[in-house]
Amino acid sequence: MADFGSVRRNVMVRQGNVTRRGFLRGTTGLALGAVGFPYVVRSTALGGSGAVVPSERITVGCVGTGPQGTYVMQNFLGQGDCRVVAICDLKAPVREATKKLVDGHYKNNDCATYTDFRELIARPDIDVVTVATCDHWHVLVALEAARAGKDLYVEKPMGLSLAEDQALRQACHQYGTRFQFGTQQRSSRDFRFACELVRNKRIGELKTINVWSPGSTGGGPRNVTKPPEWIDYNMWLGPAPYHAYTPGRESNSWWWFISDYALGFIAGWGVHPLDIALWGLGDKIPPLEIEGKGQWPDPNGVADTALNWDVTCKLDNG
């Protein structure tokens, strides 16, 4: 089994890191001065016709390329100033499909594939790492990337506890990481416009905000079987407690609702509308009084996160 403790313990001090693009800016004159013979390059290599000079492209490595990870990756594929150079996923069919997608986009066979995210992060040519793994891996992968000097796009929810979230926040400040969180509704004009209306009191005095998300699910097969050959199951478990493999445990049908790997839809989906509610309030979160109740699933299945919930948060202004 992989040494997951090293992910937590190995701290790399980021001291005056020189980025690949920054280094190339500083050495361009020297390199051109050393060329004493005719040298012809394509205009795209020099940024002609609106193309981005390769040395100025942001190189991207994607960790976790299931449905959501692929969606995030495709947004980078559509950016001319970015280039996806490597992907990492523990499921062989997913890795193969993602590589085919990337190589097809660039019309080459260059996309590297990994099963161990640490190997991808260790590449000095990668500038940005996207993290769209199962939730219990988010913070550990992101911490390793931040310590290696990579910038980050991390899917929601951040982690499984406030302690995890705060550790990543501290690391990003410590290492100067550029960080974006996967609450992409903030990039929507409609949500921004709605929040501007609220902030400017165009709807009157705000008294109550109702936030909704779909509920979770219960059940799930408990019969123990051998893990499929196409997944590195021990690596998939990673920092979570060991459980023998049960059919579908690693699929989106079930891991979302198992508390060792996720917090259910109160976090997996609820983070979106709750984030917009806080944005409309001005992103200033005063002291809260929180009272809530929920319904829990039958313990005979593998799913154990709350099925539904009713939570009231009272702000300090009443």
**Strand positions, DSSP E, 32-172:** 58-63, 82-88, 112-114, 128-131, 151-154
The whole-angstrom separation of Cα 297 and Cα 308 is 9
State pLDDT tens for residues 80-119.
999 999 999 999 999 999 999 999 999 999 999 999 999 9
Apex CA 302: angle with CA 299 and CA 304, to 5°?
60
- 102 inside domain: yes
- 7 inside domain: no
Same domain, 84 and 201: no
Mean pLDDT of the chain: 86
**List of long-range contacts for 245-250, beta carbons under 8 Å, 24+ apart:** 246/220, 246/221, 246/222, 246/302, 247/221, 247/223, 248/220, 248/221, 249/220, 249/302, 250/91, 250/134
Domain end, chosen from 164, 182, 200, is at: 182
pLDDT at residue 19 above 60?
A: no
Same domain, 177 and 215: no
Same domain, 64 and 136: yes
- 6 inside domain: no
Q: Is the pTM of this model over 0.75?
A: yes
Same domain, 157 and 261: no
Q: What is the mean pLDDT of residues 255-279?
A: 94
Domain end, chosen from 166, 182, 198, is at: 182
The whole-angstrom separation of Cα 292 and Cα 11 is 39
State pLDDT tens for residues 159-207.
999 999 999 999 999 999 999 999 999 999 999 999 999 999 999 988 8
**Domain extent for 250:** 188-315
Q: What is the mean pLDDT of residues 278-299?
A: 86
